[in-house]
Amino acid sequence: MTDADRVRIAVAIARSGRASRRGAEVLIREGRVAIDGEPTTDLSLRVDPDRQRITIDGAPLAKSEALRYYALNKPRGVLSSARDDRGRTTVVDMLPRNAPRCVPVGRLDLDSEGLMLLTNDGPLVSGLLHPSSEVQRVYLVEVTGVPSGDQLDRINDGLVSEGEQLQAKPARSRRPGRTLKSGRVTSWITLTLHTGRKREVRRLCEAIGYPVVTLRRVRFGPLLLRDLESGGVRPLSRREIRLLRRAAGLGGDATEVGP
């Protein structure tokens, strides 16, 4: 048994679907988890679920689901959440029918579109979303009007919106603008951010007086949207998974990647 085969006990429980990672930690602290018949309260313990018998209250843990990783080009009008009490379409609804329980990594608001990552790899989700990872996010943004260089410099230097300090690296796009029904023209810019605050791109553009017309995420860390059609879903390559794990501060490859 090698270290590469082992995961933290709470991760093994979460992957089985028995409890969330936090819920698993509670079960471990309460002494309800045993490894090969030996109870444990050690949250740092690493196990190999394929070779060791893990039980909760004496009942064996279900076999862990194979890890899955999907890229989705989210259309407008689709919620970037796992479920919706009002029955609206979510990004999880767009996954293949045989996909295990996956969650979106971060969010795009209802009127935004573009690249989203969905996975059942809990440590990867946590690592990518942790502020210390500073995962790069790139957005292609159509705005009303044509911002001047000075106005783009304001975004680059940072500004305050709703009591929060926001900042992004802006660049002009060669993509041509258009004339709206109102008669106003649009232009395109790209914004590169390392944070995922709520409506951050829209707030930055509104703060300099250029409201967003179209907002599309085209990159998340090493993952690129490329030519994935709107509403399209594809599994990630092993190289993409390896690069994402590196961006999240997780060494090596995932050990249970499904087809």
Q: What is the pLDDT of residues 81-90, one digit of tens each?
A: 888 889 899 9
How open is the CA angle 120-134-103, to the nearest 5 degrees?
Answer: 15
Query: pLDDT tier at 252 (50, 70, 90 boundaries)?
Result: low
CA distances from 60 to 22, 63, 66, 100 (A): 19, 9, 18, 20
The b-or-e profile of 228-247 (16+ CB within 10 A means b, else e) is eeeeebeebeeebbbebbeb
Judge whether 233 and 71 are in contact, CB under 8 Å.
yes
- What are 147-197's pLDDT values in tens digits? 999 999 999 999 998 889 999 999 999 999 999 999 999 999 999 999 888
Q: For residue 1, is pLDDT > 70?
A: no
**Cα separation of 183 and 158, whole Å?**
31
More confident residue, 70 or 83: 70
Tell me which of 86-100, 161-175, 240-254 is least confident: 240-254
Digit-coded pLDDT (tens) for 8-19? 899 888 877 778
- Distance between CA atoms of residues 27 and 54, nearest Å: 12
CB 106 within 8 A of CB 195: no
What are 11-46's pLDDT values in tens digits? 888 877 778 778 899 999 999 999 999 999 999 999
Query: Does the pLDDT value for residue 257 go beyond 70?
Result: no
How many other C-beta atoms lie within 10 A of the C-beta of residue 206? 14
First-residue to last-residue Cα distance in the chain? 24
Specify the higher pLDDT residue, 198 or 138.
138
* Angle between the N-to-C axes of helices 9-16 and 122-129, in degrees from 0 to 180, rounded to the nearest 10: 110
CB 93 within 8 A of CB 254: no
| Percentage of the residues of the chain whose pLDDT score is greater than 90 | 70
Q: Which domains does the chain have, with CATH numbers?
A: 3-60 (3.10.290.10), 69-132+222-247 (3.30.70.580), 136-220 (3.30.70.1560)
Which residues are annotated as catalytic?
Answer: 109
